[in-house]
Amino acid sequence: MTPLTLRKKLIIVSGLVFVVLSLVSSVILYNAQTRQAAAEMDTVLANEALALSALVNSQPEGKFDFEISGDFATHYVSLKPGSFFQFSDPKIARIYLGTPNAPQVSCQEREDGKSSVVKFGKTRIRYRTLIFTPQVDVDWKGSKDFLREPLCLVVGLDEEPFRSLVLKTVATTIPLLLFVFGLLAAVLIMLAQRIVKDLSTLANTIETADFGATHEFPELPDVDTVEVKAVADKLRDLHRQASDVYKDMWLFLGRAAHQIKTPVAAMQATLDVLLRKERSKEEFLAGLVDVRSATNSLNNLTRKLISSSRIAYRSEPAIRLISIHKFFQEQISAFSSLAHSRNVVLKIAGDESLEIESDFDLLSEIFSNLIENAILYSPTGNGALVQISCNREGQDVEITVSNTGSGIPENVKRNLGAPFVRGDERQIYGSGLGLSIVTGAAAHLSAQLDISSDSARTVVTLTIPQKQTSE
């Protein structure tokens, strides 16, 4: 199902509100009109009952022979009058009156004065029942037999005219209601469109942009809505960040290409010169040694580039228990040849039984680079020492790699950790990627990396939290 636009959703909601309001209002109106009609009918019936009561009490001959008149006469006649005026005992019709002490007839309504509804065929009759009770004066000498039975009188009213009136009233009011609610819905839609206008403009601008093809982020519209303006500002900010990352990636690629150019150029120049003329075997082998040296540089660089990529896209660290002493023995073994060639002594100090919960591969990336740098940047000759020490500091494990040497220049210190920055630019060794890899791997381990350097010594300290990684 295609998702609806915000505008369509608002229009649909407004339409539903319109329909629901119209239906509810119509029902309320109908009920109100019906209640009002019932109340009016009850008033008429009450008045009629009072009139009948007065009529009974005023009959001089003791005979109910009253005339039905008024607006309801037609209805009484047409609707079986006998049903409307029903005496419980026909003899009561003969009440003897005429003396001052003649019996009076009291009138009261049955069923607590409530009207009831009875159906005659399709006709609904609303009626009230009146009880007339003769009350005889104590001094009256006449026969009391005729006066003992109460008289029951039913007053009824056909509901149909009222119902028709109700329906007519409701029918004439509903269009007005529909108009009012339609107007309300239109205003609601206008307001909604006004509210979503900025959002729609922003959405359309972004929707039509093709960043992949042009690398140009669209110029976002100026908007008035505070919330949409905040979204647009955030988008601009995100775009700036994305652009910086994008530029950094290309910059990295360019720098990597430049780094690759150097050993390639060295190989080509060496081979070009070597192949220009006949060479002795010794001369040829010397040239090949130079080519091999350039190949090693290229190999080292590509290995570092692959490590950089792995670090950047690595997922969660795979934590396991590692014996630090054993780990560094393996590392030292791997670098023994390089250390020997540069007359550098490698030494491990600290707690030999220390174990650490960490990611083996990330630790290897960190310390292979740190140890390699420490060896390469140590002065060649007797006395150069690269020392690795490991100690537990509270919940953390602190590992330092230190070397003697000329230290890191202040201007280089600021950018250490950025790709292709060398600790000593005068050195021909190193790809400039080692500390960048170390920084990235340390971040994966939530470890803190500190580098201190003076004119005689450089100390790199890695503080690895233990609780955090093991929990």
Partner 1 sequence: MRILVVEDQHLIGKAIQKGLSEEAFAVDWVSTLTDGIHMSQEHEYDTLILDLMLPDGSGFELLKILRSKGTRTPVLVLTAKDTLADKVQGFELGTDDYLTKPFVFDELLLRVRALTRRKYQIYDSVLSAGALKLDTNARTVTVHGKPLVLTAKEFAVLELFFLRRTHVLSRDKIAEHIYTEDSEQGSNVIDVFINKLRRKLEAAGIENLIETIRGEGYVLR
Place of tokens 């060639």: 341
Give the separation between CA 7 and CA 13, rounded to whole angstroms. Answer: 10
428 part of the interface to partner 1, by CB under 8 A: yes
State the nearest-atom distance from the C-beta of 293 to partner 1, in Å.
Answer: 6
3-state secondary structure of 87: coil
Residue type, 68: I
168 contacts partner 1 (rule: CB under 8 A): no
Q: Which is nearer to partner 1, 122 or 276 (CB)?
A: 276
The amino acid occupying position 184 is: L
Rounded to a whole number of angstroms, the minimum distance from the CB of residue 275 to partner 1 is 9
Which residue, 215 or 426, has its beta carbon nearer to partner 1? 426
* The binder of partner 1 chosen from 123, 169, 262, 466 (CB under 8 A): 262
Angle at 94 between CA 91 and CA 98, to 5 degrees: 155
Q: Please report whether residue 253 would count as binding partner 1 according to CB under 8 A.
A: no
Instruction: Choose, by CB under 8 A, the member of 10, 37, 294, 464 that binds partner 1.
Output: 294
**269 counts as binding partner 1 under rule CB under 8 A:** yes
Regarding 290 and contact with partner 1 (CB under 8 A), the answer is: yes
90 sits in which H/E element: none
Are the C-beta atoms of residues 390 and 324 closer than 8 Å to each other? yes
Give the closest residue to 295 by CA, choosing from 267, 333, 265: 267
Residue 295 binds to partner 1 (criterion: CB under 8 A): no
Region binding partner 1 by CB under 8 A among candidate stretches 18-26, 108-116, 288-296, 443-451? 288-296
C-beta of 317 vs 405, nearer to partner 1? 405
Does residue 183 interact with partner 1 by CB under 8 A? no
Residue 231 C-beta: closest distance to partner 1, Å: 38
H or E element that contains 55: helix 6-57
Does residue 293 interact with partner 1 by CB under 8 A?
A: yes
DSSP one-letter string for 195-261: HHHHHHHHHHHHHH--HHHH-----PPP---HHHHHHHHHHHHHHHHHHHHHHHHHHHHHHHHHHHH
426 contributes a contact to partner 1 by CB under 8 A? yes
Rounded Cα distance between 270 and 290, Å, is: 7
Give the residue with the Cβ less far from partner 1, 110 or 255. 255
x/- map, 374-413, partner 1, by CB under 8 A: ----------------------------------------
Q: Does position 341 bind partner 1 by CB under 8 A? A: no
> How many positions of this chain bind partner 1 (CB under 8 A)?
21
Distance between CA atoms of residues 306 and 361, nearest Å: 14
CB nearer partner 1, residue 188 or residue 294? 294
Residue pair 465/394 in contact (Cβ under 8 Å)? The answer is no
Give the DSSP H/E element, type plus range, for residue 270: helix 226-274
Cα(379)–Cα(367) distance, rounded to whole angstroms?
20
Among 351, 425, 450, 454, binds partner 1 (CB under 8 A): 425
- DSSP-derived pairing of the beta strands 384-393 and 344-350: parallel
Q: What does the alpha-carbon distance between residue 259 and residue 302 come to, in Å, rounded to a whole number?
A: 10
Give the binding range for partner 1 (CB under 8 A) out of 65-73, 95-103, 262-270, 310-318. Answer: 262-270
**Closer to partner 1 at the Cβ: 118 or 253?**
253
Q: Give the integer Cα–Cα distance in Å for 437 and 443.
A: 10
Which residues of the shown chain bind partner 1 in the complex (CB under 8 A)? 258, 261-270, 272-273, 276-277, 290, 293-294, 425-426, 428
